[in-house]
Structure 1
Amino acid sequence: MKISNVRLHAVGIPRHTGFVNKHVIVKLETDEGVTGIGEMSDFSHLPKYSIDLIDLSRTLNTLLVGRNPFDIEDINRELLDNFPEAMYYYEKGSFIRNGIDNALYDLCGKILGVSAAELLGGRVRSRMKVCYPIFRQRFMEEVESNMETVRERYGQGFDVFRLYVGKNTEADIELLKRIKSEFGSKVTIKSFDFSHLLDWKETLRTFKALVPYEVGLEMVESPAPRNDFEGLYNFRTRIDYPVSEHVWSSMQQSEMLKKDAVDIFNISPIFIGGLTAARKASALAENGRKSIVIGTTQELSIGTAAMAHLGCALPHLKFTSDPTGPELYIGDVVKNGVQYEDGYLIAPDRNIAGLGVELDEELLEEYKVSDLGWGEVTVHQLQDRTSTK
C-alpha cells in the first residue's frame, strides 16, 4: 500500500466568543482506497504570517506520494527536515507535521483495524480529566461574563477551570473571590496560566497576590518568557506549587530537564509536531521523573480525538489536562465528535479503527475558506481569542 494523494482543506470555524479559527483538514489517500484524516489546528495565531496552501499541498505531495504509510518514523524525520523545530510553540511547521502524523495514525489504524491508542502502546485509561479555559481578563467588566461561563460550563459537567492571568490582577482576584463564594469547593481552578507575558520576578509578585484566593490550584503555567530556563528555575524554587511549561522542541525540553526548570511538561501534539513526537517527549519526561499534562491550542474533534488516544495511553498522566477545544466552537467537520462527560474527555470507542471520528463532507464544504489569513485581527485578539478589539 502506498500514499497516492495528499489533500488539504482549509476551514474557518467561529468560537462562541466570535473569533474565527482557521484549521486545515488533511486527507491521506492510498492506492487501495483507504483514506486517513488529520488536522493542522489553529493557524489563526501568532506569529502573524500565513501559509500558502497551494504551495504546501505541492510540497507534501512531493514528499509523501509513493511512501508506505507505515513508515511513520521515517516520514516524520523527513517532515522535520522540511519543517524544522524553531523553539517557538506556535511555530506553524509543527502544525503541519502534526496534521500529517494524525492522518498517518488514522490511516494505519484503519488498515490494521485497530484504534490509534493501540498503535501508541495501548490504553491505560478510557477517559482523562480536562479543564475549561477562562480567557484573560483585561477589564473589570469581563468578570461577570466569565462568571456566566463558569455557571454554564459547570451545568454541563465541567468543574475544573484554567485561568489565564497576567493583565489585570484586580479583575482576576475578583473572579476568584466570586467563584469561591458561589461554588465553594465544587469548582476548582486547575492553574494560573501566565502565557510567558511577564518576567519571572513580576510573575512571582502577581502570583503572591493571587494565591490567597486560589481554589484547588494544581499548578502555575508558563511563568517566564519563552525559553527563559533560568527564569523558570528561579520561579519554581520560590513557590510551593508545581510549575508547568509547554514542550515545543526536543532541544527546549532537554534544556528544561538540564536546568530542572519545571515539574510538569505540558505536551500537545500540535506544538511538538504530532503523536510520534509527543510520545517521545512523554517518554523523556517519564525518564526524567517529571509529570505531564496534555495541552491544547483548542483543536477541533479530529485533533482532539488524537490527543484523547495519546492521553489514554500514557501511564504517568497525573494532572488535569486541557483538550476542550470542540466545546469552544459553534461547529465542527465530523459526524461523530468527541464526547465529554462529568468533566472528562472520553476516548473514542476502541472498536473503531484509527482516530475514531468520521469526516463530514457537507460540513467541510460549509466551513470552507479560501486561505489562512486573518486581515486586521489585532495581537490582543490573537492572544485573548476574542473578536472584540
Structure 2
Amino acid sequence: MKITDVKLTAIGMPRLTGFVNKHVMIQLLTDEGVDGIGEMSDFSHLPKYTIDIVDLERTLQQLLIGQNPFNIASINLDLSNNFPEAMYYYEKGSFVRNGVDTALYDVCAKFLGVSVSDFIGGRLREKIKVCYPIFRHRFMEEVEENIEVVRKQFEKGFDVFRLYVSKNEEADEQFLYRINEEFGGKVKIKSLDFSHLLDWKQAWRIAKRLTKYPVDLIESPAYRNDFEGLRNFRMKCDLPVSEHVWSLRQQLEMIKHDSVDIFNVSPIFIGGITSARKAAETAEVAGKSLLLGTTQELSIGTTAMAYFGAALGNLDYISDPTGPELYVGDIVKNKVKYRDGYLYLPDRKSTGLGMEIDWGLVDKYRIKDLSWEDVTVHQLQDRTS
C-alpha cells in the first residue's frame, strides 16, 4: 500500500464561549482506496505565528506520497526531522506530527479491518473519567457565570471540574467557596491549573490559600521548563503535582529533577500516538502516574486520545479530554460520547478511528487559512471571545 495524496482542510470551530478555534483535518489517500484521517488540533494558541496551510500541504505531500503508511516509525522520524521538538508547550510542529501520525494509524487499522485500539495493543478500559474545564477568572463578576457553567454541566453528568487559576485569586477563592457551599461532596475539583503563568513561589502562595478547599492535584505551578522550580513547589506541596509532557527531552529533565508526581500526556502536545506511547512507557519506568491532557480537540483528535488512554496501565488520575462538549459543532457524523462524566470509546467493531466525516459540516465550518485576525493574548489564554 502506498500513500498517493495528502489533503488538508482548515476548520474554524466556535466554542460555547464564542472563541473560534482553528483546526486542520488531514486526509491520507492510498492506492488501495483506503483513506486515513487525522486532526491537527488548536492552532489558535501561542506561539502567535501562522502556519501557511497551502505550503504545509505541499510539504507533507513531498514527505509522504509514495510511502507505505505501515512504516510508522520511519515516517515519524522524517516528521521529527522536518518539524522538530522545540521544548515549547503548544509547539505547532507537534500539532502537525500528531495529525499525520493519527491518520497513519487510522489508515493502517482500516486496511486490516480492526479498531485503532486493537492496532496499538487493545483496551484495559472502555471508558475514561474526565473533568470539565472552568476558565480563568479575571474579574469577580465572572464567578457567577462559572458557577452557572458548573450547574449546567452537573445536570449533564459532569461531576469533576478543573479550575484555571492565577489571575484573580479573590475570585478563584470565591468560586471554590461557592462550589463547596452549593454542591458539597457532589462536585469535585480535580486540579488547580496555573498554566505556567507564575513562578513557583507565587504559585505556592496562591496554592496555600486555595487548597483549604478540597482539590486533588496541582498543575503547571512554575514557568515552562523550570525544572528546579517545579521540584521546589512539589517538595512544599502535600498534593500531587502534574506537568504536561511536550518533549521527550523535557520529560527526561523532569525525571532527573524529580519534579512531578504525574505526567500529563497527550498526543497533540508531543506529536502523536507514537510519541505519546513512548512518554507513557517512560513514565511507567520512572514510577510516575499519568493523566490524559488536552488542548480541547474535536471528535477525531479526542477519539485518538481515548484509544491511547484505554491501553495505559498507569492512568491513575481523572483526565481532561472534553473538547467536543466545548464547541458548538463538529465535523463528524458520530461525535464521541460522554455519559455520567466518562468519555466512552467507540464500539470495538468499528475500524480505524471509527469516525465518519460529515462533509456538509466540513463545508459549514471550513475556513480559508489559519490567520490570527485580531485575537489578543488574553483571549488565547482564557479561550473567550
TM-score by length of 1: 0.98
For 2:152 and 2:90, locate their aligned partners in 1 and report how far apart those are by CA, in whole Å: 30
Displacement over 3 Å in runs of 4+:
none
Partner of 2:59: 59
1:222 paired residue among 220, 230, 244: 220
TM-aligned CA deviation for residue 356 of structure 1: 1.1
Q: How many residues align?
A: 385
Q: Which residue of 1 aligns with 2:126?
A: 126
Distance 2:73 2:54 in 1: 26
TM alignment of 1:186-201, pairs within 5 A: 186-201=186-201
Asked whether 1:238 is paired with 2:218, we answer no
Matches within 5 A, 1:74-89: 74-89=74-89
Structure 1 residue 121, shift from structure 2 partner: 1.2
- Distance, in Å, in 2 between the alignment partners of 1:218 and 1:288 is 22
- Show the counterpart of 1:39: 39
State yes or no: 1:93 paired with 2:93: yes
Cα deviation for residue 114 of structure 1 reads 0.9
Partner of 1:9: 9
Return the letter of the residue paired with 1:4: T
Contact 1:218–1:319 (CA under 8 A) maintained in structure 2: no
Q: Give CA-to-partner distance per residue, 1:13-71, whole Å, 9 cap, x none.
A: 10000000000001000011110000000001111111001110000000000000100
Identify which of 260, 268, 287 aligns with 1:262. 260
How far the C-alpha of 1:376 sits from its partner, in A, is: 1.0
Q: 1:368 aligns with which of 366, 369, 372?
A: 366
Contact 1:308 1:348 in 2 (8 A): no
User: Equivalents in 1 of 2:24, 2:166: separation in Å?
Assistant: 31
**Most deviating of 371-380 and 151-160:** 371-380
Alignment-derived partner of residue 137 in structure 1: 137
Superposition deviation, residue 351 in structure 1: 0.7
Shift of 1:199: 0.5
1:164 corresponds to 2:164: yes
User: Aligned Cα RMSD in Å?
Assistant: 0.5
SS of the aligned residue for 1:281 comes to helix
Q: Deviations over 1:104-126 (max 9, x none)?
A: 11111100111111122110000
Q: C-alpha distance in 2, partners of 1:386/1:92?
A: 21
Shift of 1:207: 0.4
The unaligned stretches of length 5 or more in structure 2 are none
Distance in 2 of aligned mates of 1:114 and 1:285: 28
Secondary structure at 1:39's aligned position in 2?
strand
Q: Is the 8 A contact 1:200 1:234 kept in 2?
A: yes
2:345 maps to 1:347? yes
Q: Distance in 1 between matches of 2:29 and 2:133?
A: 36
Offset at 1:375?
1.1
Letter in 2 for 1:326: P
- The one-letter amino acid of 1:188's match is K
Deviation, structure 1 residue 190 = 0.1
Letter in 2 for 1:254: L
Q: Which runs of 5+ in 1 are unaligned?
A: none
What is the TM-score when the length of structure 2 is the normalising length? 0.99
SS in 1 for 2:338: strand
- Cα offsets for 1:193-230 (capped at 9, x unmatched): 000011001100000110112x3x22100000000000
Rounded to whole Å, the distance in 2 between the matches of 1:330 and 1:374 is 20
Q: Which amino acid aligns with 2:289?
A: S
Does 2:108 align with 1:108? Answer: yes
Alignment of 1:242-321 (within 5 A): 242-321=240-319
SS in 1 for 2:121: coil
SS in 1 for 2:236: coil
